[in-house]
């Protein structure tokens, strides 16, 4: 049996970029076991001063937009240019369908065998809040290990886009040219989060359709208030399959970082994200404690039946749950 790994082993292993220890450190932060969580927090506290220097880029997209091909191509370009790239996934559906490292590596064939890259899927169980907590903490770990680009991929849909946008510096939305309404399949709220829209699959023979789609998205963005006073989200076209336009996209991401750093907005954004992270953790833990409280558990079957059958209003039922928890 292997000897247990102590705090110093974790910290030193991560700092020297040991891939095995890096994987174990992320597994530690993903664990919900109280002892593991205590060790994980002690480790993160020591790693925190060595994190924070990476480009943090969130990537989402409509179904069929080619996210995996895009990340594979962009990540490979970046490692070729001397960067070290970590890919983290946020998948709110993974608790139902299961996650697979093999699946992620199959989707990103070149990056998965690149010695300057590290790919990590989201946990295969837990709430979306738990998945995003572990992703935020995994970000600290990979940055402390020397990865200077962290790509956070939203695998699922819905609330995950907002949560990923709240943990990164730059949020990229991938789109494709389609028949009819170019805005079909994308919510207004996601466009409001975007720091850039990139129309992918502008391959040979499809450039005109891609440019037409880009004009549609550009028009849609003009109707929205930019999230940053220092940045107007551009709309670009690219082909991940043919590796065209990706250098321009990365140049825009770097320009965004320079502009927001110079204005002080990036530092303020990251500080606010840390505080938001604290409160989201409080929310998650309070809800877990409430649901696990013995008095609450004993009340729930009757209260849920009363609410379902219209004998009690949801608000009064909620009051009774909270009263039981407080008492």
The residue ranking higher by pLDDT, 2 or 298, is 298
CATH 1.20.5.170 occupies which residues in the chain?
Answer: 1-50
Give 95-121 as a DSSP string.
HHH---HHHHHHHSHHHHT-TTEEEEP
User: 187 falls in which pLDDT band (50, 70, 90)?
Assistant: low
- CATH of span 1-50: 1.20.5.170
Q: Using one digit for the tens of pLDDT, what is the confidence trace for 24-57?
A: 999 999 988 889 999 999 999 999 999 999 999 9
> Taking 80 as the threshold, does the pLDDT of residue 297 lie above it?
yes
Q: Does domain 51-262 have CATH number 3.30.70.1400?
A: no
Average pLDDT over residues 87-95: 72
Q: Using one digit for the tens of pLDDT, what is the confidence trace for 312-323?
A: 999 999 999 999
Residue 145 — φ and ψ, nearest 5°?
-80, -5
Predicted pLDDT at 204: 81
Going from the C-alpha of 278 to that of each of 18, 57, 234, the distances in angstroms are 29, 21, 32
Predicted pLDDT at 183: 53
> Taking 90 as the threshold, does the pLDDT of residue 223 lie above it?
no
Average pLDDT over residues 180-191: 59
CATH 3.40.50.300 occupies which residues in the chain?
Answer: 51-262
User: 309 falls in which pLDDT band (50, 70, 90)?
Assistant: very high
CA 83-52-235 angle, 5° bins: 65
Predicted pLDDT at 147: 98
pTM: 0.87
How high does pLDDT run on average in the chain? 87
Chain-centroid distance of CA 316 in Å reads 36
Predicted pLDDT at 80: 97
The residue ranking higher by pLDDT, 219 or 143, is 143
> Taking 80 as the threshold, does the pLDDT of residue 159 lie above it?
no
Whole-angstrom distance, CA of residue 240 vs CA of residue 260: 27
């Amino acid at each position: 049996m292997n000897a247990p790994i102590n705090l110093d082993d974790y910290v030193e292993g991560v700092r020297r970029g040991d891939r095995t220890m890096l994987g174990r450190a992320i597994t530690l932060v993903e664990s919900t076991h109280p002892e593991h969580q205590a060790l994980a927090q002690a480790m993160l506290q020591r790693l925190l001063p060595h994190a924070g220097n990476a480009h943090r880029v969130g990537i989402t997209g409509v179904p069929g937009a080619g996210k995996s091909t895009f990340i594979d191509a962009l990540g490979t370009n970046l490692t070729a240019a001397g960067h070290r790239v970590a890919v983290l996934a946020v998948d709110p559906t993974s608790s139902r369908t299961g996650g697979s490292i093999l699946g992620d590596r199959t989707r990103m064939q070149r990056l998965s065998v690149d010695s300057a890259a590290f790919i990590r899927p989201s946990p295969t169980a837990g709430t979306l809040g738990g998945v995003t907590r572990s992703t935020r903490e995994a970000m600290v770990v990979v940055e402390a290990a020397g990865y200077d680009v962290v790509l956070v991929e939203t695998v699922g849909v819905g609330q995950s886009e907002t949560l990923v946008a709240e943990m990164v510096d730059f949020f990229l939305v991938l789109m494709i040219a389609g028949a009819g309404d170019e805005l079909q399949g994308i919510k207004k709220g996601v466009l409001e989060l975007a720091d850039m829209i990139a129309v992918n699959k502008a391959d040979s023979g499809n450039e005109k359709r891609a440019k037409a789609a880009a004009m549609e998205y550009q028009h849609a963005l003009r109707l929205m208030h930019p999230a940053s006073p220092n940045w107007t989200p551009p709309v670009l076209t690219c082909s991940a399959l043919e590796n065209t336009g990706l250098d321009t996209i990365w140049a825009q991401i770097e320009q965004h970082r320079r502009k927001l750093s110079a204005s002080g907005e990036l530092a303020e954004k990251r500080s606010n994200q840390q505080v938001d992270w604290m409160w989201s953790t409080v929310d998650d833990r309070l809800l877990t404690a409430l649901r696990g409280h013995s008095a609450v558990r004993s009340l729930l079957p009757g209260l849920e039946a009363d609410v379902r059958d219209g004998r009690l209003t949801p608000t009064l039922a909620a009051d009774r749950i909270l009263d039981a928890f407080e008492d």
